[in-house]
Amino acid sequence: MTIQHMSPASGFFKWAAARVHEAGRPPGRVVRRLPVQKDWPAWAILGIQVGVLIGIITLWQVGANLGVIDAFFWSKPSAIFNTLTIFFTTGEAWTDIGFTFRSTIMGFVIGTTAGSLLGLSFWWSRNYAAIVQPYIICFESLPKLALAPLVVLVFGIGLSSKIAIATALTVVVSTLTTYAGVKAIDPDGERLFYSLGATRLQVFRKLVVPSCLPWIISVLRVNIGLALTGAVVGEFIASQHGLGRAILYAGQTYDIALVWVAVSVLSALAMIMYVSVSWLERILRKGVRQ
């Protein structure tokens, strides 16, 4: 078999197959097929997901009824459901949700905005960036939640201390990511702008800010989670409202069902915010075409 006899499309494979056929299986070489993974239909995936959830809840309920699971420590789904109804009909559910939601959103907005502006400001002066950078890195490595008691002392037990903690958690990530975006700007892009006679302000507005936008956007989802953590920890330390306070209070009074209710509401809130931010992110990304 020679080169000339090969058809262009499948030539190599025919040739390879013929070689294997002629020589038998070469010693020491295992012949394998390409592993192929088949995708299941979406309804099957969703069905299994729902099935697993129902299965866990059922096992929990049955286990608690039979005494295999200690309902004092773990509570049980039926009790949790009852508490949930009471929580929303008689309790301060909406006050708590509103409180946690507000401090999370405020902390998220303030932290992300301030961090992005700070990161962008480093473009203006390399000297200024070099001076400030160690402080930023120091603040990043600091476990900021350890400062939470101090923050509560300074800002009081109201909304502002929760906002402050949520801001402290979000601002650093935004700053560092935006600064990474600033450093990633193609110097040739700046040369182009200056060769067209641009001022520094023009370069900043028309090149630096749009180039960094994708970086700023990429932090949004991380920050919404961090802001929520900050708000809840703030409520743990001292608060009169909020889902964090509800969880702490329920735990201290051995109302385990209420712990589960508050945690579920919290995760529902987290999910709603996460989905909204992802949606916001998609829209923004379309806006900046990247």
Partner 1 sequence: MASPKLRIDDVSMTFATPGGAFEALAHVTLSVPAGSFVSLIGSSGCGKSTIFNIVAGLQEPTDGRVMIDGIDATGTIGRVGYMLQKDLLLPWRTLIDNIILGMELQGVPLRQARDKALPLLRRYGLGGFEHAYPNALSGGMRQRAALLRTLLFDTDVILLDEPFGALDAQTKLQMQEWLLQLWSDFGKTVIFVTHDVEEAIFLSDEVHVMGTRPGRVVETLVVDLPRPRLRACTTTPAFMAMKERCLELLRVFQAAPVDQAA
Q: Tell which positions 149-208 bind partner 1, by CB under 8 A.
A: 186, 188-189, 191-198, 202, 206-207
Q: Which stretch binds partner 1 (CB under 8 A): 7-15, 90-98, 224-232, 282-290?
A: 282-290
Q: Does 140 bind partner 1 (CB under 8 A)?
A: no
In angstroms, what is the minimal distance from the CB of 202 to partner 1?
6
Residue pair 199/233 in contact (Cβ under 8 Å)? The answer is no
Tokens of 242: 């909020």
Task: Specify the residue, 160 or 202, whose C-beta has the smaller distance to partner 1.
Answer: 202
Alpha-carbon gap, residue 162 to 145, rounded angstroms: 11
Task: Specify the residue, 6 or 209, whose C-beta has the smaller distance to partner 1.
Answer: 209
Task: Give the contacts of 135 (CB within 8 A, at least 6 positions apart).
Answer: none
Q: Tell which positions 102-131 bind partner 1, by CB under 8 A.
A: none
In angstroms, what is the minimal distance from the CB of 185 to partner 1?
11
DSSP 67: T
Residue pair 103/266 in contact (Cβ under 8 Å)? The answer is no
**How many C-beta atoms lie closer than 10 Å to residue 225's C-beta?**
17
Task: Specify the residue, 207 or 248, whose C-beta has the smaller distance to partner 1.
Answer: 207
217 exposed, middle or buried (CB, 10 Å; 0-12, 13-18, 19+)? buried
Q: Tell which positions 205-244 bind partner 1, by CB under 8 A.
A: 206-207, 210, 213
Task: Specify the residue, 37 or 195, whose C-beta has the smaller distance to partner 1.
Answer: 195
How many residues are recorded in the chain?
A: 290
SS3 1: coil
Binding residues for partner 1 (CB under 8 A) = 186, 188-189, 191-198, 202, 206-207, 210, 213, 287-290
